[in-house]
Structure 1
Amino acid sequence: NKPFKCEICNTRFYRKCHLQVHIRSHTGDKPFKCDFCNARFSRKPHLKDHIKTHTGEKPFKCEFCDARFNRRTYLNDHISTHTGEKPFKCEICDARFNHNTNLKRHIRIHT
């Protein structure tokens, strides 16, 4: 049982802190500010990721080549270009893609 309920959309949470973060999606509250450009974020991890765009920090290195990335998700997307993995499948024609954005672009041909 999830004891903490959002009074706006009725989504429930196990922890009060998760509810508090969720409520920001309704209120638009963004308490975390970038000191470089004044961009604001609702979650501290999003601010930390953003700051890397200013500092140039790229801690995530590709094991196949010398490419480096500031976010793990960007690295994971890149790795699929080496492995040939195509995890995103069109439910209409079974075509497969290495990036979700490519699948979304493809789906437009069916509409």
Structure 2
Amino acid sequence: SQMDNSQGNFGNWQQMVGDQTGDDVFSGQDTGAQNSQDYTQCAFCKEKIFNEPEYLLGHTLDCQFAPRPNSTYRAVCCFCDYHTLLATDMRKHIRKHTGEKPYQCHVCSYKSTNNSNLKTHIRIKHS
């Protein structure tokens, strides 16, 4: 099934990326994409996509092979069966796959995938 295939691709992608925190590959800086760890493969079209959140987001919106049975499928995840109408929701969802944590505590080394968790951290640990 498509879901099994997409999970399989994500498993391969996880193996390629390993235990990286995402600080280098997902920093938003152009790393040159010189080896296979800098790319992932779309489960639907098999295209190699640069492992950077904005490239992945763009592909979720543009992939011609992703299933889009109705308008709520505007953005379709390349790794699992998640879909959404809103690009902002897909941007947040992609962080589950990439490990990107763009919200950094100004006091310690804590990082979070979302601002709400960061605010909770600051309130509990630093107030």
TM-score of the superposed pair, with normalisation by structure 1 = 0.47
Higher relative contact order (CA 8 A, sep 6+): 2
Q: From the CA coordinates, give the structure whose radius of gyration is larger.
A: 1
